[in-house]
Amino acid sequence: MDEQIIDYPLLKFYRKRAGLSVKAAAEKIAVSQSTLRKWEQKAGSTETILIDQLNELCYLYGITLNDITMTGIILR
């Protein structure tokens, strides 16, 4: 089965490329700075990122979802 997997460290790369601080990006998508940092580090399993939030980040950073996903094969 193919599955789209988010490459979370790329969120930080594209945020910086867009010239945005954690504070500015978090405010624009209405999440806390710590939530955005956790997403970028993939550190918080309780900090779920929703597809709407990913779309907002992509728009804000001038990228597409394809830019931050990897296609992988999940073996069971």
pLDDT in tens, 4-28: 578 888 899 999 999 999 999 999 9
Instruction: Tell me the angle at which helices 9-17 and 51-61 cross, rounded to the nearest 10 degrees.
Output: 30
Strand-pair partners of 3: 72
HSE-CB of 2 using CA atoms within 13 angstroms = 4
In CATH, what number is assigned to the domain containing residue 35? 1.10.260.40
Region 56-71 average pLDDT? 88
Coil vs helix vs strand at 28 = helix
72 backbone dihedrals φ, ψ, rounded to 5°: -130, 165
pLDDT band at 2 (very low <50, low <70, confident <90, very high): very low
Number of domains in the chain: 1
The domain containing residue 10 runs over which residues? 2-73
Whether the CB-CB separation of 4 and 66 falls below 8 Å is answered with no
Coil, strand, or helix at residue 25? Answer: helix
